Amino acid sequence: MVIKLADNIYSPLGVTTWENYQAVMAGRCVLKQYSLPDGSLYTASLFPEEERKDYNYTFFEQLCIVSAGDAIARANIDPKSSHCRFFISTTKGNVHLLANGDTERALLGSSANIICSHFGNPNPPVVISNACISGLSAQIVAMRSIEAGLCDTAVVIGCDIQSEFIISGFQCLHALSPDECRPFDKDRCGLNLGEAAATIVYSNSGNGQWVAKAGAMCNDANHISGPSRTGEGSYRCLQALNLKPEELAFVSVHGTSTLYNDEMESIAIDRAGLADIPLFSLKGIYGHTMGAAGILETILSIQAVEHGIVFGTRGYHELGVSRQVNICAENRSTDKKSFVKLLSGFGGCNAAMLFEQTDNSTTHNSQFTIQQLNSLRINLTADELVELYRTYVGDYPKFFKMDPLSRLGFLASEMLLKQLSNQTIKQYGILLFNRTSSLADDSAFQATIQDRSNWFPSPALFVYTLPNIVTGEIAIRNHFQTETNFMVLDAPHTDIMAEQIALAAQHAPQLAGWCDVDTDGHCLAALVAVPQYTYKETIQQELNKILK
């Protein structure tokens, strides 16, 4: 059983969960219009400039520390315990530091270490950077880690701050609305961005009244930046939760206010038999808070159920999607005690979690087996990847549109799957780790916005500044519609990698391992094909062998 002990939200609307809940109930927001160097307008929910000061920590790190500190104090746990682990959800972390040439502090693993060191935690932190579903991915990873006995408590922090890097990228994709967003409305024209940090402390015991009952991640294997027209990924996630619609207070949807996301979600919800369940989006209050979204929106949904409320969707007036889903325009009452949180993101990733105000959740033990694993290692330069492609693949021209990280992961998966050609291959999950996240692509994109007199943010580059895009490319190539995830570590800790791969392999066989490209163009992939229910010790032995 995984119990929520405490939580915190630190946003422009308040520094505690309660302050944020009161702001939402009052319909308050601080969405405001801003401009980019090219004169284009966007609307966002940002912290005031006077708060955005770097002291010993960057602003991103400060937000994480303040939010986690409040939640840890409320949970009354010892963050220095070896039985406590930190899971950090973010898409871009300190990426704004690239403008000053600080590549080391921009590494997600480096900033995660700084945050955990503040609390004296002895375990290497795990960063989940899985596009917009990162906040739910991190909670699912934490839930599994507790259920498997890898830790007793988990501090799950989600945070992203906005910078010219991120805002210009979304703008060049034509995804931003110049006005306040309107989720699911017929006049919606794009999303707003937002800033926040949010933390949940989970435990295997305690006095918490909320249980993280189930979670699922599925790739729709459709397109790296466009959702499935049939809502396949979100629909599969909802199916996996084995829902009882009559028990649900609501579904807290992603609701980004983009044309295709809202349409996709409405189709998935309708297909899952949830069209009559109340739905709401919080993007019209907070904007899209990226790595914080899944955690912030989960916490506020818990508050809503505790107070018998279904939130209204700020900005929504008239249904603008093809399915007759039950979007709440105004706050309404409920007496139900469970809800679903739903998210989707670039790279084809989707996630859903079921939460319940009860204590009767059970843990399912799986039968692990000793397996002979297939594995593969690639250690080349980025230029040499093209020759490898021509030698071993040659029939997938999309390869030449990919960034080096996606090329590396794609080639490693192709060559590993060929080793398995004599086996029955159905659906593999994909779980990749690295140290540099997407730093090489981040640096390349930063170069397109560094010179204000020659400002040309590149949409083709921006999409690949999400490291999980490589998992999407592999899923699309092989039509894998199962779980995909991307984690960042400060080094290839094979013990942590093996633990997380073994947990993921309880749900599906995995293509998993290390996949990293540094700023000098050096590429290292070490992948393992892991059958379902494989011992973590077996996986670690294979990882140690190929990562020497």
The number of beta carbons lying within 10 Å of the beta carbon of residue 18 is 12
Given a cut of 70, whether residue 273 has pLDDT beyond it is yes
Mean per-residue pLDDT, 40-55: 90
Given a cut of 90, whether residue 454 has pLDDT beyond it is no
Mean per-residue pLDDT, 312-318: 97
Given a cut of 80, whether residue 99 has pLDDT beyond it is yes
Beta-strand relationship, 332-333 and 309-310: antiparallel
Is the model more confident about 454 or about 54? 454
How far apart are alpha carbons 50 and 130 in whole angstroms?
Answer: 31
Do the domains 374-546 and 3-356 match in fold? yes
With a pLDDT cut of 70, the percent of the chain lying above it is 97
How far apart are alpha carbons 507 and 514 in whole angstroms?
Answer: 20
Given a cut of 70, whether residue 424 has pLDDT beyond it is no
Q: For the residues of 240-298, what is the DSSP string, one character each? A: HTT--GGGEEEEE------HHHHHHHHHHHHHTT-TTSEEE--HHHH-B-GGGHHHHHH
The two three-digit tokens of residue 459, written as one number: 């949409």
H or E element, residue 349: strand 349-356
Q: What is the pLDDT, as a whole number, of residue 208?
A: 86
Q: What is the pLDDT, as a whole number, of residue 230?
A: 95
Judge residue 9's burial from the number of C-beta atoms within 10 Å of its C-beta, 0-12 exposed, 13-18 middle, 19 or more buried: buried
Q: How many residues does the chain have?
A: 548
> Hey, which CATH number is domain 3-356, 3.30.450.20, 3.40.50.300, 3.40.47.10, 3.40.109.10?
3.40.47.10
Mean per-residue pLDDT, 303-317: 97
Q: By mean pLDDT, which of 38-42, 95-99, 409-413, 534-538 is the weakest?
A: 38-42
Q: Please answer whether residues 191 and 283 qualify as being in contact, where contact means their C-beta atoms are separated by less than 8 angstroms.
A: yes
Q: What is the pLDDT, as a whole number, of residue 371?
A: 65
**Mean pLDDT over each residue of the chain, to the nearest integer:** 95
Q: For the chain, what are the domain ranges?
A: 3-356, 374-546
Band the pLDDT of 367: cuts 50, 70, 90. Answer: low
3-state helix, strand, coil in the chain (%, to 5): 40, 25, 40
**429 φ, ψ to 5°?**
-80, 165
Q: Please answer whether residues 349 and 259 qualify as being in contact, where contact means their C-beta atoms are separated by less than 8 angstroms.
A: no
Let me know the angle formed at the C-alpha of 86 by 202 and 501, rounded to the nearest 5 degrees: 90
Amino acid at 197: A
- The CATH homologous superfamily for domain 374-546 is Thiolase/Chalcone synthase (3.40.47.10)
Q: Please answer whether residues 218 and 350 qualify as being in contact, where contact means their C-beta atoms are separated by less than 8 angstroms.
A: yes
Could you read off the pLDDT of 206-253 as tens digits, one per residue? Answer: 888 999 999 999 999 999 999 999 999 999 999 999 999 999 999 999
